[in-house]
């Protein structure tokens, strides 16, 4: 049965895997994170939360922010406007790959790889006067927490090492799929990635995806049921980059990962779960986090398949 104690026990099973992965170090400010941290939080559809380990320790959400940015874009643009600029297919490539862009005329494969998220950030930049502030407000609302903030050291560190993301953005601009000043959009994009949240906040913030668009602790839907289904479909097919297939096979939940070591997964109608362990595998997904979710789905019988 799901309880704090059963989650603690689950973490004890996977903890010995710490040491087998590597903390992301291509962003220098992330290289110093203590790799021994491990946390999990489950948020049931009724709002009850179960936790274990370092579930209230905040970390860099990184690419998990791509889900919130896409959701924000879906509430401000028509589907046509959005899907003519970004695709809906798994990429089968690393999260920061630019190889497909040249073949596909600057249209990224999906919104959850860097190229796609940069287009989404470009769209938000066109529509919002203060995009970083709006994103923080959205997350504070969804997570029911006023303490969520941007880690400016991480954002600046990413900006200083922007070469690859800048190359992706300029390549898209050369194909006419990027409207705003590249560095301005990169600043917004890095700030979204550099938001710090903990497992409880992230599981709570994803709850709208388990509840047909209605976030826990709120009485107004963020998006409609159809949109929620579609977001979950994108998470299931593209949420873990070129490991999305293996993740579906092993875990069986729509999910999104980030290079900070967080993964948030959804069982529509039932729950959301966030795990965090900073060491990554070769695809840039949390190694111990994936193992924890695999065990979670096996032990508690949660899979969408």
Interface positions, 98-157, toward ligand GLN (CB under 6 A): 114
192 is a catalytic site residue: no
Q: Which two tokens stand for residue 293?
A: 């979710």
Q: Which two tokens stand for residue 265?
A: 């997964």
Residues in Cβ contact with 109 at an 8 Å cutoff, skipping those fewer than 6 apart: 87, 89, 90, 91, 93, 100, 115, 116, 238
14 is a catalytic site residue: no
Backbone angles phi, psi at 23, to 5 degrees: -70, 140
CA distances from 86 to 43, 103, 123 (A): 31, 14, 11
Q: Cβ closer to ligand GLN: 2 or 33? A: 33
Interface positions, 260-299, toward ligand GLN (CB under 6 A): 284
143: nearest Cα among 192, 204, 198: 204
CB 267 within 8 A of CB 253: yes
Interface positions, 36-75, toward ligand GLN (CB under 6 A): 62-63
The answer to whether residue 259 forms part of the interface with ligand GLN (CB under 6 A) is yes
* Active-site residue identified among 259, 264, 266, 275: 259
173 is a catalytic site residue: no
Q: Cβ closer to ligand GLN: 193 or 266? A: 193
241 appears as a binding residue in the annotation: yes
When binding is defined by CB under 6 A, the residue of 165, 198, 272, 290 that contacts ligand GLN is: 165
Nearest distance from C-beta of residue 118 to ligand GLN, angstroms: 8
**What is the rounded distance in angstroms from the CA atom of residue 152 to the CA atom of residue 130?**
16
| Catalytic center residues | 63, 66, 189, 241, 259
Residues forming the site for ligand GLN (CB under 6 A): 62-63, 95-96, 114, 158, 165, 193, 258-259, 284
């Amino acid at each position: 049965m799901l309880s704090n104690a059963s989650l603690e026990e689950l973490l004890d099973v996977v903890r010995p895997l710490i040491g087998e992965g590597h903390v992301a170090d291509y962003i220098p400010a992330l290289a110093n994170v203590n790799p021994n941290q491990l946390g999990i939080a489950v948020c049931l559809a009724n709002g009850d939360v179960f936790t274990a380990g370092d579930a209230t320790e905040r970390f860099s959400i990184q690419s998990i922010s791509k889900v919130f940015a896409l959701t924000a874009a879906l509430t401000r643009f028509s589907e046509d406007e959005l899907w003519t600029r970004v695709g809906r297919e798994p990429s089968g490539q690393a999260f920061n790959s630019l190889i497909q862009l040249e073949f596909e005329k600057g249209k990224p494969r999906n919104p959850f790889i860097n190229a796609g998220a940069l287009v989404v950030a470009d769209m938000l930049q066109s529509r919002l006067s203060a995009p970083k502030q709006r994103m923080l407000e959205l997350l504070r609302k969804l997570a029911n927490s006023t303490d969520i903030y941007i880690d400016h050291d991480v954002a600046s560190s990413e900006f200083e090492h922007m070469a690859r993301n800048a190359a992706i953005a300029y390549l898209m601009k050369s194909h006419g799929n990027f409207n705003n000043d590249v560095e301005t959009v990169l600043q917004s994009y890095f700030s979204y990635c550099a938001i710090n949240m903990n497992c409880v906040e992230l599981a709570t913030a994803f709850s709208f995806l388990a509840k047909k668009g209605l976030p826990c602790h709120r009485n107004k839907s963020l998006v409609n049921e159809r949109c929620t289904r579609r977001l979950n479909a994108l998470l299931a097919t593209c949420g873990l980059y070129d490991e999305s297939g293996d993740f579906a096979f092993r875990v069986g939940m729509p999910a999104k990962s980030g290079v900070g070591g967080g993964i948030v997964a959804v069982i529509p109608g039932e729950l959301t779960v966030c795990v965090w362990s900073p060491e990554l595998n070769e695809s840039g997904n949390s190694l111990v986090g994936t193992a924890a979710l695999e065990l979670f789905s096996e032990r508690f019988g949660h899979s969408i398949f």
